[in-house]
């Protein structure tokens, strides 16, 4: 309904610059009049508007559906982010090298929503094979998540997040088949750190020198596994005690989006650090995006 927004979108369309729109974002494309005779998809409820605007509608058989028509990339919902991001990178003239990697995510109930979903989908978008496991759960099972936000209070606030679907079995994990381990933060690490199988898994990756990327409260697991001795790392500030008592050298996360790499170990303080967190893990894995 904002004419300035519509004018901006038309400029990108007229210049044939890449446009990527997901879910209900296509309502703006329809209002701007830039979808006539263009093939696209969207969240199903947006179909009547797109059809009325002259678009060639593609039904989303799953919420992962993505469609490309020239400079226009459209997707049905956030489930499609891996392909959506990959297609947008290609539309920008990008290519990915070294992404033939297998990554394991160590998950648990009430892990932080962003801290599992963002790196999980980002690594998939790069072309990595990514598996997510949780003790006592199998493929297709879900983990509830929590959203931790920083709103000016003395500590983070906590809200319900999305359910996160696992795609592999913890009991069937062959650690030797994976190139790296990612540990999200949130509530899950405080109880996963009591699980000897979890600690053994984390210790195995560290002992073999494979890349391990841990964020926020994930370092509670590394401390309990006894793998932080002599290592430099950061974490959510409240986890400093775990790091120091675990023999690690504490690196202050100032600002909160700072991440650090020490050998095979990447650590971050919280989800605002995702750009650095993913980039530093990519560097350890030898994954490069070129334009």
The Cα 171–Cα 197 span in angstroms is 9
Distances (CA, A) of 7 to 4, 16, 105: 5, 14, 42
Q: Please give the pLDDT value at position 97.
A: 98
User: How confident is the model over 14-28, as pLDDT tens digits?
Assistant: 999 999 999 999 999
User: How confident is the model over 254-267, as pLDDT tens digits?
Assistant: 999 999 999 999 99
Confidence of residue 228 (pLDDT cuts 50, 70, 90): very high
Catalytic residue positions?
23-24, 216-217
Asked if residues 74 and 41 have their Cβ atoms less than 8 Å apart, the reply is yes
User: How confident is the model over 135-154, as pLDDT tens digits?
Assistant: 999 999 999 999 999 899 99
Strands, DSSP E only, in the chain?
19-22, 39-40, 56-57, 66-69, 72-75, 95-97, 102-106, 111-112, 129-133, 142-143, 145-149, 157-160, 164-165, 180-183, 212-215, 232-233, 249-250, 259-262, 265-268, 288-290
Question: Residue 253 is inside which H or E element, if any?
Answer: none
Q: Please give the pLDDT value at position 208.
A: 98
280: preceding bond cis by omega (within 30 degrees): no
Region 189-208: mean pLDDT is: 98
Region 76-102: mean pLDDT is: 97
Asked if residues 215 and 183 have their Cβ atoms less than 8 Å apart, the reply is yes
The structure tokens 């997707």 sit at 75
Q: Please give the pLDDT value at position 8.
A: 98
Query: What is the token pair recorded at 41?
Result: 């998809």
Confidence of residue 99 (pLDDT cuts 50, 70, 90): very high
Domains identified in the chain and CATH numbers: 3-91 (3.40.50.880), 97-290 (3.40.50.880)
Query: What is the token pair recorded at 190?
Result: 């405080």
The Cα 119–Cα 130 span in angstroms is 10
User: How confident is the model over 8-65, as pLDDT tens digits?
Assistant: 999 999 999 999 999 999 999 999 999 999 999 999 999 999 999 999 999 999 999 9
Q: Please give the pLDDT value at position 174.
A: 96
The Cα 242–Cα 148 span in angstroms is 20
Asked if residues 264 and 247 have their Cβ atoms less than 8 Å apart, the reply is no
Query: What is the token pair recorded at 218?
Result: 């994930």
The Cα 235–Cα 239 span in angstroms is 6
DSSP codes of every residue in 122-186: HHHHHT-EEEEE-TT--TT-EE-EEEEE-SSSSS-EEEE---EE--S-STT--GGG-SEEEE--B
Distances (CA, A) of 261 to 57, 133, 266, 267: 46, 24, 4, 7
Q: Please give the pLDDT value at position 124.
A: 98
| Whole-number average pLDDT of the chain | 97
Region 61-76: mean pLDDT is: 98
The Cα 17–Cα 36 span in angstroms is 17
- pLDDT-above-70 percentage for the chain: 100
Q: Please give the pLDDT value at position 104.
A: 98
């Amino acid at each position: 309904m904002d004419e300035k927004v519509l004018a901006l979108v038309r400029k990108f369309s007229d210049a044939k610059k890449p446009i990527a729109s997901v879910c209900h974002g296509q309502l703006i494309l329809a209002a701007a009049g830039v979808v006539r005779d263009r093939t696209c998809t969207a969240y199903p409820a947006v179909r009547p508007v797109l059809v009325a605007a002259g678009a060639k509608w593609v039904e989303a058989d799953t919420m992962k559906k993505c469609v490309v028509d020239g400079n226009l990339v459209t997707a049905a919902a956030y489930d499609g982010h891996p392909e959506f991001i990959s297609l947008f990178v290609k539309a920008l003239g990008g290519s990915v090298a070294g992404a033939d990697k297998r990554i394991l995510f160590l998950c648990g109930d009430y892990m932080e929503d962003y801290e599992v979903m963002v790196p999980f989908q980002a690594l998939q978008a790069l072309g990595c094979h990514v598996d997510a496991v949780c003790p006592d759960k199998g493929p297709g099972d879900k983990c509830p998540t929590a959203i931790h936000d920083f709103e000016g209070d003395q500590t983070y606030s906590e809200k319900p997040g999305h359910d996160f679907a696992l795609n592999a079995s913890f009991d069937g994990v062959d650690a030797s088949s994976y190139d790296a381990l990612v540990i999200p933060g949130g509530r899950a690490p405080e109880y996963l750190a009591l699980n000897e199988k979890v600690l053994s898994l984390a210790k195995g990756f560290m002992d073999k020198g494979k890349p391990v990327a841990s964020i926020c409260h994930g370092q509670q697991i590394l401390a309990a596994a006894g793998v932080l001795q002599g290592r430099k790392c950061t974490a959510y500030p409240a986890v400093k005690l775990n790091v120091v008592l675990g023999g690690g050298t504490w690196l202050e996360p100032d600002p909160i989006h700072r991440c650090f790499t020490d050998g095979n170990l990447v650590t971050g303080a919280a989800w605002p650090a995702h750009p650095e967190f993913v980039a530093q893990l990519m560097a350890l894995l030898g994954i490069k995006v070129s334009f």
